[in-house]
Structure 1
Amino acid sequence: MYSKILVPVDVGEPEMTQLALDAALALARTNGGAQLRLINVQPLVPVAFIDYIPPNFDEEMRETAEKELAALTAAIDLPRERVTSTVRFGAVYPEVLAEAEDWGADLIVVGSHRPTMATYLLGSNAKTIVRHAKCSVLVVRK
């Protein structure tokens, strides 16, 4: 049913990440040869702070995120050629949606907290991904 499953990963939210990974892995196993791609989106540094950070700050952030993603992918019980990861910079939902389109994902599996007043007023990344994705989206909650 699904052949390319994209999983946005927030390494600062291990519980949400694991919920989404478990759901995506179950779907990948049911669909025989489905591929998984983990994506981590790092925020852009505001221009006002550019003078206060080291010149290679973005590269250090990328390397750290890639190491964390490598540890997550190594723990996934699928053949290595079916699991990939990528790091992008920017706002979460536009980058997740762009990666889904660029990679040709037919499903995005995203973990989400239960809605609170803040998310009703401000919105959430999961809500925006659901609203604007060109493929199916599975939102996983505790």
Structure 2
Amino acid sequence: MFKSILVPIDLSDTDLAKPAIATAVSLSQASNGTIRLLNVLQMTPVMLAEYLPADFGAQQRQSSEEALAIVASEVGIEPSRMSSVVRQGSIYHEILEEAQAIKADLIVMASHRPAMKTYFLGSNAGHVVRYAKCSVLVVRH
């Protein structure tokens, strides 16, 4: 049913992502599909850039790639059906771009319980649900 599943992960809270990953694994095994794990690094504000080391961006990307590789190795499906990528930019925009790039059939993502500010400002999960061109499954923790 789902041949290509995208799972965005916040590496600062991997416990939140575990139910989403487990759901994606279950769905991919049912249809022999693939899973792509995605982590999005937010852009460093210009005001802070002068206080950070010159190679901060490269270090941040490398540590995210290493952490994502560890998460991918613990998922429990064969490596040929698992991939991961780190992108940088606006979270929901990069999720949508990656979904389109890999022709995802489904995006499985975790979401916090909505807070009052989320109702007024919107959330990344809300934006993805609204604008994705494929199905989106939001897994609550």
- Counterpart-to-counterpart distance in 2, 1:114 and 1:91: 21
- Counterpart-to-counterpart distance in 1, 2:24 and 2:116: 28
Q: Which amino acid aligns with 1:17?
A: A
Are 2:105 and 1:106 equivalent residues in the alignment?
yes
User: Which 5+ residue runs of structure 1 have no aligned equivalent?
Assistant: none
Are 2:80 and 1:84 equivalent residues in the alignment?
no
Are 2:7 and 1:7 equivalent residues in the alignment?
yes
Match of 2:36 in 1: 37
- Counterpart-to-counterpart distance in 2, 1:103 and 1:47: 31
Q: Deviations over 1:71-123 (max 9, x none)?
A: 00101111101000000001100000000001111100010112221211121
User: Which 5+ residue runs of structure 2 have no aligned equivalent?
Assistant: none
- Counterpart-to-counterpart distance in 2, 1:89 and 1:111: 19
Match of 1:138 in 2: 137
Aligned length: 141
Q: Secondary structure at the match of 1:15?
A: helix
Q: Which amino acid aligns with 2:46?
A: V
Q: Secondary structure at the match of 1:12?
A: coil
After TM superposition, which residue ranges in structure 1, 4 or more long, deviate above 6 angstroms?
none
Q: Secondary structure at the match of 1:22?
A: helix
Are 2:73 and 1:74 equivalent residues in the alignment?
yes
TM-superposed CA distance for 1:15, in Å, is: 2.2
Q: Secondary structure at the match of 1:52?
A: coil
RMSD of the alignment, in Å?
A: 0.9
Q: Deviations over 1:23-52 (max 9, x none)?
A: 101101111x20000000001111222211
Match of 2:48 in 1: 49
- Counterpart-to-counterpart distance in 1, 2:93 and 2:136: 15
